[in-house]
Chains A and B, each alone.
Chain A
Amino acid sequence: MIFQHDIVIVGAGLAGLRAAVVCAGETDVAVVTKVFPTRSHSGTAQGGISASIGNEEEDHWEWHLFDTVKGSDYLSDQDAVEIMVKDAPRAIYELEHMGVPFSRTPEGKIAQRNFGGHTRDYGKKPVKRACYAADRTGRVVLDTLYDQCLHHQVKFYSEHYVLSLVFDEGKCVGVVTYDLATGKLHFLQAKAVLLATGGCGKIYKTTSNGFASTGDGFSLANQSGIPLEDMEFIQFHPTGLYPLGILVSEAARGEGGILRNSQGERFMERYAPTIKDLAARDVVSRAILTEIKEGRGIGGKDYVHLDLTHLGEKKISERLWEIASFVRIYLGIDPVYNPIPVQPTCHYVMGGIPTDVDGRVLRDEKGLVIRGLYGAGECACVSVHGANRLGCNSLLDLLVFGRRSGLAMKEEIKQYEHPSLSSDPLKMVEEKISRLMSHKGVEKVDPLRRKMQSIMMDYGSVFRNEKGLKKGIEEIRALRERYQDVEIANKGKAFHFELMEAIELGHQLDLSEVILFSALHRKESRGAHFREDFPARTDPYFLKHTLVFQTPKGPEVRYKPVKVTRFQPQARVY
């Protein structure tokens, strides 16, 4: 079937829904999502949204700007960061007006808490900048935005999986989707398409990401001739619940939680003397893994303790209810009385589809815009997070740039009518699907995926080196060969998850190669990218964004400059 809409948004997380809300009413907007909207991964965000509204103590957007730039290890584009931090208070008040149930201060204002890397007066001490709703901030914002979409009659294509982006004369004109319930293909024709498909954490064995975070959007763009920017920067969140990798929010440390090694030592004092446990995530993750490597993991195992036992039951149940519930359910211990075993877990990708500050997708290092195609949220790279994202800046990014993308799309589509297309966009996809379905082979999705997740963990996680990265690339390429021989056993139509996972795996393997390839070429250490063989940051050579293009000869790397406005790179000490 063919359906026409002014705007099609792919992904119903916070970026997609925020864009949908701003477009609704005035344009015909549809949201395509492979899970039901309220099942989107944004819902698992816990700790808060950063904004210098200063409800608890003095704060300024200039401090927020500095912290974000420093947190990014000076790789973020400072013009974009400035737009984001200046817009943050407005974005927060707007959510409050929509009904988000923020926690409150005694005066009835939005409550704020400490979060990693957010400081007062350019790094002097932690500042309360994270606006929160207990430890379920992402979920309540997701619910509120979904409710707003219902209110404004946004059309949803739930449980529809996007298989390809459709271009006509260089302009994006829609997407081909696979209806999971029926197995039918549809062409959703649009005057503008927004990719808001989230992250790709499921490439790694240990991750806080849900099953849907398979990086489809990055890969669809990359296959369509669009480069991917800064994909070597993968964030490992310091405190994943051991051994599952479920997120234990930085809010736990923001509320006073302390990391301890097997000797009971508050080891972050050695790594970040000024702000200790509230240092940026890359710093804390490396510290934890160093402690483990040097034999100070708990009981000689691969984890340390996150100690909340001094916070008291009241504070834990009021502000960290969800986290406490995960610990009780999955580990059978009570964080009120027992420290929580934690290990770093793959959490977020700083890189993504290059966009300008209005979400327009850029096709090369010179900044040439692709008409009709936008990107926002984790799958996009504006770049506001550079080499390492600060906690609470992600939700802010989604809200600010999701909305800006929506506004820009509304403007751009005024000049377009739906064109009649020269070729049938469904035909090519149909052929691809039937080839995949009828292929007789010996490989299965699950073993290949497991192997990929181990390879990425071994060679592409927190500590990297040339030998490992080369080996990783070789092994991923071997897996891609084997992937060609995947056989789909299920011949049914309805809810064919085997087919969906096979297609996802194709995307994941392509992305794995891009990540390792980008990491191999960045011969320095910066933010979340740490090279054992090049342990220092090297601004003269690498203060630049990586762009990886797919060519017939394989991936090709090019670079583009970083926009430095107010803050020149300095040594990064916490």
Chain B
Amino acid sequence: MIVKLKIFRFDPQTDKRPYYQTFEVEADPMDRLLDCLNRVRWEQDSTLAYRWSCSHGICGSDGMRINGICGLACQKLVRDFKEEVLIEPLPVFRVVKDLIVDLDPFFEKYHSIKPYLITRTPPLDQERRQSTEEQRLFETAIRCILCACCTASCPINQNKETERYVGPAALVRAFRYLFDSRDEASEERMALLDQKDGVWGCQTKWKCTEVCPKEIPVTREIGQIKKRIYESKHTKE
């Protein structure tokens, strides 16, 4: 079958403004959109720029906006699209070239939530114990591949006035450590998150949960952080 792709193009070095370009490629219904992009780049226009790597939804490179919805090009099959497919870069971030965006701000926010286990008790010469129930508390959060689809889809992050909000991806990782029974920095983490642009930036719009390619219940996990902060204040008073 023939697939029509309408692709956002912009090279800040040479173009005054972005434009759209349409390509047609021959594809099998079971091909991925990423396969189609590769074909465009290899056979028609080698200047087309996008990121890709594992091509099966683990590395998180090829997040983009597909017919208006953020997702991974390697997880979308051609057969699921009837008409022309509109392909654009992730919103929220600055376009560097075509479908490539500057993810530095995304990773700075990610870094800001202290994405590592903090412990004070010296480790044993074996593993720290953790029950299967304790481990399952944050099990869904470790599926996150940092593709940035959630943060790019978040209406709060999209709004210039509230763009400083740390965003769902960073909060999923914050949840993962806050709810890890081995971590010993709950107070520190909650203080970090208990901010207007921290967890309270979330207004429960559910967009993050809708688009997550790994089916993480993002909004629910953010809600659990809020609940935990609220409860800890409440008990103190």
Contact = CB atoms under 8 A, between A and B. Distances in A.
Interface string A26-46: 000000000110111101100
Contact of B129 (A107, A140, A497): A107
B14 interface: yes
B115 A147 contact: yes
A40 B53 CA distance: 8
B212 to A, nearest CB: 12
B85 interface: no
Contact of B59 (A39, A109, A144, A181): A39
A14 to B, nearest CB: 14
A106 interface: yes
Contact of B55 (A148, A211, A497): A211
Contacts of A102: 127, 135
B145 A330 contact: no
A322 B138 CA distance: 16
Nearest to A38: B146
A329 B208 CA distance: 20
Given A105-B132, A322-B58, A494-B49, 4 more contacts: A101-B135, A133-B142, A211-B54, A325-B215
B77 to A, nearest CB: 7
Interface in B122-154: 123-132, 134-135, 138-139, 142-143, 145-146
Given A44-B56, A211-B52, A211-B55, A106 B132 contact: yes
B80 to A, nearest CB: 10
B203 interface: no
Contacts of B96: 181, 494-495
Interface in A490-515: 490, 492-495, 497-498
20 contacts: A39-B53, A39-B61, A40-B59, A44-B58, A96-B128, A97-B127, A98-B116, A101-B180, A103-B132, A103-B135, A104-B135, A108-B129, A109-B129, A136-B143, A139-B58, A321-B143, A330-B56, A488-B46, A492-B13, A494-B96
Contact of A39 (B54, B127, B139, B143): B54
A220 interface: no
A212 interface: yes
Most buried by A among B42, B138, B180: B42
Nearest to A493: B13
A151 interface: yes
A98 B53 contact: no
Contacts of A331: 30
Interface in A77-118: 92-93, 96-99, 101-110
Contact of A151 (B116, B134, B135, B142): B116
B100 interface: yes
Contact of B125 (A93, A105, A143): A93
Interface string B208-229: 0000000100000000000000
B103 A36 contact: yes
Contact of B49 (A35, A105, A495): A495
Interface string A500-544: 000000000000000000000000000000000000000000000
Interface residues of B, number: 59
B205 interface: no
A98 B14 contact: no
Given A44-B54, A44-B59, A181-B96, A101 B138 contact: yes
B111 interface: yes
Nearest to B117: A99
A370 interface: no
Contacts of B46: 488-490, 497-498
A103 B130 CA distance: 9
Interface pairs A-B: 10 shortest CB-CB: A99-B117, A108-B129, A446-B42, A498-B46, A210-B54, A495-B49, A39-B59, A97-B123, A96-B127, A147-B116
Given A99-B180, A150-B116, A39 B111 contact: no
Interface string B74-108: 01010000000000000000001110100100000
A417 to B, nearest CB: 33
A244 interface: yes
Contacts of B116: 98-99, 144, 147-148, 150-151
Contacts of A109: 127, 129
B53 A35 contact: yes
A151 B59 CA distance: 21
Contacts of A40: 59
B88 to A, nearest CB: 17
Interface in B12-33: 13-14, 30, 32
A36 B129 contact: no
Nearest to B143: A136
Given A103-B135, A148-B116, A330-B77, A43 B58 contact: yes
Nearest to A446: B42
A185 interface: no
Most buried by A among B32, B59, B119, B145: B59
B75 A329 contact: yes
B56 A326 contact: yes
Interface string B166-186: 000000000011001011000
A316 interface: no
A35 B180 contact: no
Contacts of A493: 13
Nearest to B35: A244
B14 to A, nearest CB: 7
B182 A99 contact: yes
Contact of A244 (B52, B56, B103): B56
Contacts of B61: 35-36, 39
Contact of A104 (B30, B124, B131): B131
Contacts of B123: 93, 97
A110 B77 CA distance: 37
A38 B97 contact: no
A350 interface: no
A289 interface: no
